[in-house]
Amino acid sequence: MLRGDRGRWRRLSAVPLVAAIVAVLVVPDPHEVAASPPAGLECLSSGDNAFDLTATGGYAAMPDGNTIYMWSYAARGGAFQLPGPTLCVDSGVKVTVVLHNTLPEPTSITFPGQAQVLAGGQPAQPEADDAGNLTSLTTTAAAGTGSVTYTFTAGPPGTYLYQSGTDVQKQVQMGLYGALVVRPAGHPDRENDRADSAFDPDHEYLYLLGEIDPDLHLAVERKRAYDFTKYRARYFTINGRSMPDTIAPNHADWLPAQPYGALIHIRPYDPVGNAKPALIRYLNAGSVAYPFHPHGSDEQLIARDGRPAQGPGGQDLSFSNFLIDVAPGQTVDTLMIWKDAEHWDADANPIPVPLPSLQDQIVGPGPETWFAENPYLGGAPGELPPGVVQNNECGEYYHVAHSHALEQATNYGASFGGMMTLIRIDPPAGCPA
């Protein structure tokens, strides 16, 4: 895996060594404000809930050195980015999205889960060609310079996709998708209207899952026909990136068109000092199910498709699982905490634990290891084999999180990569700044 790209790995290995990965300041638009945390969800919000998006083309970098021609939505005044900006609004507000099209064919945006969407002030309508064949699920912006204005009232709080409704098989695969986060009015620290969906706002994460068949993208770039019976995804992405780029910070300078990282960065549960869980929002913009598996801790599934897991009487139907299976077009929201289940204490409870063998740790592809050689958070580093470099800055843990369909955890078939990232758990007292 990626053995030839040592420079990229050297850059990535610096990620955990910098306590709070350097944030990149984003100059806010007069009507839109973008927060830019070093890790976690980055919202694009607007005081009047109005957004301008431009459908445009650009290039995404893959970890094996390949670059892929993509289509996506850029924010007003912004450059091409994959995926489109994450739009954040409150439930019940009127939302306006103006789509500008610079692509060589008509395109559009659908908002699954949102009711009574208008286009140009009229109900958005499917479109067909002269022969009566359906060409778009909703009103389009014409090729080249067209535009269309969509309006709707934000529905129930939750996580939703927005994506092209035109020639869906092709345009969504090309990258025309993004996330819409609808928050409960007055409760930005809850996933939905239920009090038990509360989470730590400093630990909110987005996993927008996708896939790429490079042959399709090359055909579109060269304006050639493509036979969809030969479709085969070769790259699998989280937020438009593949492992190891998934663990790089938001706005990593070597990924200018892929601004969103996927590293989860938390501390152990503490009933006093760290009681609230992290929130992870999963979205599937691909063509197959992605069975996502976080190691080291199960997650509590609390919502699907913008609907809380509850019974007709409001009873809690959330459940804990080791695998988060996300179907095409579906969204799933989970809460996650990480507990020191054995209550280790260096003096009072010194539990002996054998260190795993080197091949069972996350090592390389260079002489790096992501394990402190100490079985407990914050403990003194152990003894590493000669020539192996330790990346842990303060005895933190790293757990792998990846698609359990292992062909999706590859980069063009090379293991491991693709739809994979890390969960970083710092010691209870945190790490040095």
37 has a pLDDT exceeding 80: no
DSSP secondary structure of 69-119: EEEEEEETTPPP-SS---EEEETT-EEEEEEEE-SSS-B--B-TT--S-EE
Token pair, residue 8, equals 């990229």
* Distance in angstroms (rounded) separating the CA atoms of residues 299 and 334: 6
The pLDDT score that the predictor gives to residue 12 is 43
Specify the pairing of strand 50-61 against strand 94-101. parallel
Confidence tier at 431 by pLDDT (50, 70, 90): confident
Question: Of 366 and 14, which is predicted with more confidence?
Answer: 366
> What pLDDT does residue 41 have?
96
Per the structure block, which two tokens stand in for 65? 């050195």
| 27: pLDDT strictly greater than 50 | no
**411 backbone φψ class: left, alpha, beta (φ>0; ψ -120 to 50):** beta
Please give the structure tokens belonging to residue 297: 């801790």
Dihedral angle at the C-alpha atoms of 301, 240, 73, 29, nearest 10 degrees? 80
Q: What percentage of the chain reaches a pLDDT higher than 70?
A: 88
Name the phi and psi angles at 182, rounded to 5. Answer: -105, 120
Alpha helices by DSSP H, 275-365: none
Burial 33-67 (b: 16+ CB within 10 A, else e): ebeebbbbbbbbbbeebbbbbbbbbbbbbbbbeee
pLDDT beyond 60 at 313: yes
- Asked if omega into 291 is within 30° of 0 (cis), the reply is no
User: What DSSP string runs through 263-290?
Assistant: -EEE---BTTTB-SPEEEEEEE-SSS-E
> Which tens digits make up the pLDDT trace of 345-363?
767 877 666 777 766 776 6
234-264 tens-digit pLDDT: 999 999 999 999 999 999 999 999 999 999 9
Cis geometry, peptide bond prior to residue 244 (ω within 30 degrees of 0): yes
C-beta separation of 45 from 33 below 8 A:
yes
Residue 342 has a pLDDT of 79
Q: Please give the Cα distance from 99 to 87 (Å, whole number).
A: 14
d(CA 39, CA 252): 11
The pLDDT of residue 36 is 67
Instruction: State the Cα–Cα distance between residues 329 and 332, nearest whole angstrom.
Output: 10
pLDDT by residue (tens digit) across 167-188?
999 999 999 999 999 999 999 9
pLDDT-derived band at 210 (thresholds 50, 70, 90) equals: very high
The kind and range of the H/E element at 303 are strand 299-304
**Residue type at position 32:** E
More confident residue, 368 or 278: 278
**pLDDT value at 20 more than 50:** no
Nearest to 401 by CA among 288, 263, 267: 263
Q: Is it true that the peptide bond before 111 is cis, omega within 30 degrees of 0?
A: no
pTM higher than 0.85: yes
Q: Alpha-carbon Rg of the chain, whole angstroms?
A: 22
Contact 241, 255 (CB under 8 A): yes
Whole-number Å distance between alpha carbons of 209 and 236 = 8
Is the link from the previous residue into 365 a cis peptide, with omega within 30 of 0? yes
Residue in the block written with tokens 């730590």 = 200
CA 379 remoteness from chain centre: 31
Give the residue from 108, 135, 132 showing the smallest Cα distance to 120.
Answer: 108
Please give the Cα distance from 203 to 125 (Å, whole number). 39
Lookup result for tokens 């989970």: 334
Query: Band of the pLDDT at 390, cuts 50, 70, 90?
Result: confident
Q: Region 21-40: what's the mean pLDDT?
A: 50
